[in-house]
Amino acid sequence: MYKLAFYGKGGIGKSTTVSNIAAALAQKGMTVLQIGCDPKADSTMLLLHGQEKKPVIELLREKNQQTTLEDMVTEGYAGVLCVEAGGPKPGLGCAGRGIIAALEYLKRRKAYETYKPDVVLFDVLGDVVCGGFSMPIREGYADQVFILTSGEAMAIHAAKNIALAVDTFQERGYATLGGVIVNKRDVRHEGENIRQLCEDIHSEVVGTLERSELVQDADEMHKTVIEAFPDSPEAESYRKLADAVLQAADRENARRGEL
Amino acid sequence: MLKNLHENKIMRQAPEHYRMEGGGEQMFSSESAQIARKYAERWKTSDAGRAWKSQQAACTSRLKKEKEETADCAAGNVGNSGNTGAGGKSAAYLEDKAEWRISDLDSEHLFPVGIEYTPPARGTWTIAHTPMLVPGLHEVYVCPDGCLRGVVMSAEEFRGLDRFHVIEVREPDLYNGTLETKIIDGVTSVIQQIRREKGAFPSAVMVTTSCIHDLMGLDRNMVYRELSERFPSIDIVQGWMNCTMRMSTLHYEQVQWRQNYAALHPREKDPKSVNIIGSSFPLDRDSEIVQMLEKSGFTVRDLPLCRTYEEYQNMASSSLNIWNWVMGMEACRDLKERLGQKQLHMPYPWTYGEIRRQLTGLHELTGAELPDFDALEQKAEEKLSQAHEVIGDTEIQLDGVAAMLPFQLAELLLRHGFHVGKIYADAVMPEDRDAFSRLAESHPDLSVSAMINFRLRTRKCDGEADAEAGGRRILAVGQRSAYFSGTSYFVDLIQNNGWYGYTGICRLADAMIDAYRKPKDAPEMIQIKARGCTA
């Protein structure tokens, strides 16, 4: 089973990218579970055609221990299994605690054993701001972390922070860095900035997505590019990225095995 | 990296004298009852009290309406009144009281759950006490200062501070992210200190975390793995003291009892060895269970009787686990899964039929020879008869902490002519439901009182009321019933005291005679936490 976490600066396009990767892998016949780890609970929106997905935290609030797997998991486009962890109302409560509670509850309800996914994708909020947001990279959750970034300074800064967090947890046997995914914004010195980032965090680019209006068109249709424009070059880019991510995970697993 | 974060100052020893000064009035004294009444009066005139009164008025009005509807329904005036619940008893629940006639109650839901009161009848053992049964085990509690207070006081009370250690969690641990490293480094310091003082590593260390660790999502796997790797010769056992989050449907004492056996390592099974699991008190060695097994060549092991760590580890070689007290259930499930030990549930019975059924089950499973049931029954009858001759018509009150199946016990006593007036219980165990139903039929006026309902805090105890009326004697069976009745004549029975079967009935009958004849200093006796616990 591939267990992959995706981090990156807010607004960088994580959910769009992760949803397209999920759709591409599902179309190849794999069972994919996508878990949105963001209080906004909008990670799986494109896979569910804009349909509102009740997050785990809200379900626990309403039904407590009576919450079932069926309540939490909704089947989306191409059979992708969609879960939203959710969180408290903005300004209230503790979002990190929400992630912890949701992921622990999924585990306790044996979500992984029941659905036996080939791939689990954790789509995580921008920064690892507290212990709750490092939960997806703990032992038993994701094995590899992929960082999404553009060449913009703030995105690069966030990427470095995430890489630092991953490095901090190496001794604990947490997930390792799988690579960098570039979502281009066509800013000045973008390529150079990305190269410098990879050098700084001892990683490499596993895939690059060109800036495209088509992705926004698909977003407006509440669909993934894979579904809305399956024959487009952009869809093909996502398919290639999905393959590249799995290959990178294989390489990283092999390296870990050797260690 | 973790080693660099180590700070010695995070670990501190429990203070030698950590006792609460003053406070803690006992309800036994008339002065404290006056204090309680004074507070109750003050509360009634407060905003909260007035709000409560208004709520009660609404409740009474609902009750009246419900009764009228039920009456209408019985008279055939209403087709279907609905919502009358179990046998028309739901109306009773609208009137929230702490005591009812047994015939008004439903055995599956005795009392509404709400604000609780814990009386100072403290002989039962807690999570700070039962791990001490494991020879040589050291406890390390990791929690904020306020939570530490209770367990430190417990440990000091049983003079167990040389096997009890604390690590304090502070706010900076939350924002600095040092929850994990503090446990690892703190426990390391504790173990090194033990080695310096005793000249050897301890056999086992139970590291108990608190609510804050679960709230913050402590990386439990990493912490305990790291400790086990640092100290491979020590059994590092996980413990939980989490009062705010119920992570499963298990009772915290059930989890604790499971962990008390968690250090057992797999061993080759001995088909002629049996364990008794899950009780703070050893099963009576004269009981039919032990006698049957030992006479047939079995070794019977019981944690409270283990004197060395090796004796404790020998429990892993037993092929069968018997649990008499409900707290042993989860431990038996876990031991079956981990060590492949079979399990047999033999809940402390008080009816002859049930005793025979359980012992026959043991015989069928192990081949141990059955005792002469008729002779044992005859002896129990004689003992009960002797007790009745002495005690006569004196009212008896008993509780569900003294006996796991108090309704079976009440039935036994009532059938032998005793005057049982009240049973204290918050719930009815499944094994006790038949006895409950029979009692509801045969003795509908028998009183059943809650043990933890908040109203008990200010209720006048029966003994006090009787003293004002000229006095009468109450014989209590159990610490809770002794406290609530206010009597000095009581049997100090906690969790059956390990008394089982016919032998258990004989022991109880003797103890009742003794209690009737010799009054005890009840407040002094029952306020001692975890009767018999030593380090």
Q: Do B216 and A131 touch (CB under 8 A)?
A: yes
Mean pLDDT of B108-129: 88
What pLDDT score does B91 carry? 36
- Is B145 in the same domain as B9? yes
- Same domain for B228 and B139, yes or no, is yes
Q: What is the pLDDT of residues B448-472, one digit of tens each?
A: 999 988 888 877 666 555 554 456 7
pTM for this predicted structure: 0.80
- Clarify whether residues B164 and B236 are in a common domain: yes
Task: Give how far A230 is from chain B: nearest CA, Å.
Answer: 41
Nearest to B474 by CA among B519, B510, B437, B432: B519
pLDDT of residue B512: 98
Q: How many domains does chain B have?
A: 3
A29-43, A124-138, B63-77, B145-159 — which is least confidently predicted?
Answer: B63-77
- Pairs across A and B, CB distance < 8 A: 27
Q: Which residues of B touch A100 (CB under 8 A)?
A: 216-217
Mean pLDDT, to the nearest integer, of B512-521?
95
Structural domain includes residue B398: no
Report chain B residues whose CB lies below 8 A from the CB of A173.
222
Subunit contact A100:B217, Cβ cutoff 8 A: yes
Q: Are residues B337 and B318 in the same domain?
A: yes
Candidates B1, B215, B221; nearest CB to A97: B215
> Are B237 and B149 within one domain?
yes
* Domain shared by B14 and B34, yes or no: no
CB B283 within 8 A of CB B500: yes
State the DSSP string of A57-115: HHHHHHHGGG--HHHH-EE-GGG-EEEE-----TTSS-HHHHHHHHHHHHHHTTHHHHH
Rounded alpha-carbon distances, angstroms, from residue B356 to B349, B352, B360, B377, B406 = 10, 6, 6, 10, 19
> Who among A96, A108, A139 is closest to B221 (CB)?
A139
Region B68-96 average pLDDT: 43
B293 located within any domain? yes
Query: Closest partner residue to A171 among B1, B215, B249, by Cβ?
Result: B1
Q: Say what the pLDDT of residue B69 is.
A: 56
Predicted local confidence at residue B42, as pLDDT: 57
Give mean pLDDT in consecutive 10-residue pieces for chain A, a chain of 259 residues. Answer: 94 95 97 93 94 90 87 96 90 84 90 95 81 83 94 93 88 89 93 94 95 94 96 97 96 80
CA distance A84 to chain B (A): 19
Domain with B48, as residue range(s), is 30-84
Residues B137, B276 within the same domain:
no
Q: Are residues B221 and B283 in the same domain?
A: no
Q: Is the distance from CB of B99 to CB of B424 less than 8 angstroms?
A: no
CATH number of the domain at B285, please. Answer: 3.40.50.1980
B398 phi/psi in degrees, rounded to 5? -140, 165
Give, in order, the Cα–Cα distances in Å from B289 to each of B26, B301, B533: 40, 12, 24
Q: Tell me: pLDDT of B20 over 80.
A: no
**Same domain as B12, residue B147:** yes
Query: Is residue A47 a contact partner of residue A82, using CB atoms and an 8 Å limit?
Result: yes
* pLDDT tens profile A94-140: 888 888 888 988 998 999 999 999 999 999 986 767 778 888 888 88
For residue B518, is pLDDT > 90? Answer: yes
For chain A, list residues whose CB is within 8 angstroms of any CB belonging to chain B. 65, 96-97, 100, 104, 108, 131-132, 135, 138-140, 168, 171-173
Which tens digit of pLDDT belongs to each residue from B27-44?
A: 233 443 444 455 455 555
Q: Which residues in A lie closer than 8 A to residue B2 (C-beta atoms)?
A: 171
pLDDT of residue B23: 27
Sheet of B342-345, strands arranged across: B299-302, B270-277, B318-323, B342-345
pLDDT greater than 50 at residue B201: yes
- Phi and psi, residue A120, nearest 5°: -115, 125
Q: Catalytic site residues of A?
A: 9, 14, 40, 127
Interface ipTM > 0.90: no
**Residue B52 pLDDT exceeds 60:** no
- Between helix B501-517 and helix B352-366 the angle, nearest 10°, is 140
B237 plus B127 within the same structural domain: yes
- pLDDT band of residue B67 (cuts 50, 70, 90) is low
Average pLDDT over residues B428-449: 96
Minimal CA separation from A255 to chain B, in Å:
21
Structural domains in chain A plus CATH codes: 2-258 (3.40.50.300)
